[in-house]
Homo-oligomer: A and B are copies of this chain.
Amino acid sequence: MWNYKTPGVPDEMFIQGDKVPGPTKEEIRVITISKSRLREGAFVVEVGCGTGGLTVEAAFQVGPKGNVYAVDEDPAAVKLTKDNVEKFGLQKTVRVIQGASPEVLSSLTAADAFIIGGSHSLVETIRIAHEKLKTNGRIVVNAILLETATTALEEIKKLGFKEVDVVEVFVAKGKAVKSGTMMLARNPITIISGTKE
C-alpha cells in the first residue's frame, strides 16, 4: 500500500454519485493541489467540493494538524464528500458544510488557501477569499466555463494577487480497445492561481 499523503489518489478509489459531478480527475487534482502550495498544518477552504476529490487530497496534504473546510450548495455533494472523507479516515481534518458560499464563508478566520471549484457567486467568493486569506495565502480557481476563467482572472488581478498563474490543461486518457488504444478526451480545465500580497 502506498500512503495517501502524496497527492494522486486514483480516480476509482472515490465513492461516486449519480447526481454529483466529479471527482475531479487525478491529473487535474494534482495540478490544483500543487498550485495551492499546501503545507502541513495549513487551513484550506474549498468552495464547490462536489464529490470531495480535492477535499481528500487537500486533507492528506495538510495532515492531522491541518484543517479543510469544504463547502457546497448541493446537499447531495455534501453527503458524497462526507462519505469520501470517511472512507479515507479524514473526519478529524475535514468539515463539510452545506450552503451558499458567501454566507457560510463569512464567519471564517484566516486561511492559507482557497480552492474554488465552482460557485454561483464567483466574484463574491473570490472577494471573500481575498479577505480571508493570510498574507502569502493562495487562491486557486478551477474553471470549466470559458467565462469563468476570464472572470476569475480579472477579479484576481483586480484584487492585487501576485504571482498570478493561468494554465489550461487538456487531458486525453487511453482506453484499451480491441485494435489499440483510443484516446478519450476530457474537457479542458483552466486553472487560475495567485498569492495574496
Q: A-side interface residues toward B, CB under 8 Å?
A: 1-3, 5-8, 26-27, 30-31, 33-35, 37-40, 61, 120, 144-150, 153-154, 164-174, 176-177, 179-188, 190
**A-B contact list, 11 entries, CB within 8 Å:** A6-B7, A7-B30, A26-B34, A30-B31, A145-B179, A146-B181, A147-B180, A165-B174, A169-B169, A169-B171, A185-B186
Given contacts A145-B182, A166-B174, 15 further A-B contacts (CB under 8 A): A6-B38, A6-B39, A8-B35, A120-B179, A144-B182, A145-B179, A146-B149, A146-B181, A146-B183, A147-B153, A170-B170, A172-B188, A183-B188, A184-B187, A185-B185
Q: Which residues of B contact A38 (CB under 8 A)?
A: 2, 6
B167→A181 contact, CB < 8 A: no
State how many angstroms separate the Cβ of A176 from the closest Cβ of chain B: 8
B187→A188 contact, CB < 8 A: no
Bound Cα distance A144, B183 (Å)? 7
Pick from B39, B179, B180, B187: contact of A172, CB under 8 Å: B187
B173→A166 contact, CB < 8 A: yes
Pick from B35, B145, B150, B185: contact of A147, CB under 8 Å: B150
Q: Which residues of B contact A1 (CB under 8 A)?
A: 39
Q: Which residues of B contact A145 (CB under 8 A)?
A: 177, 179-183
Bound Cα distance A64, B16 (Å)? 36
Q: Which residues of B contact A150 (CB under 8 A)?
A: 146-147, 149-150
Q: Which residues of B contact A31 (CB under 8 A)?
A: 26-27, 30-31
Pick from B8, B172, B183: contact of A34, CB under 8 Å: B8
B187→A187 contact, CB < 8 A: no
State how many angstroms separate the Cβ of A140 from the closest Cβ of chain B: 11
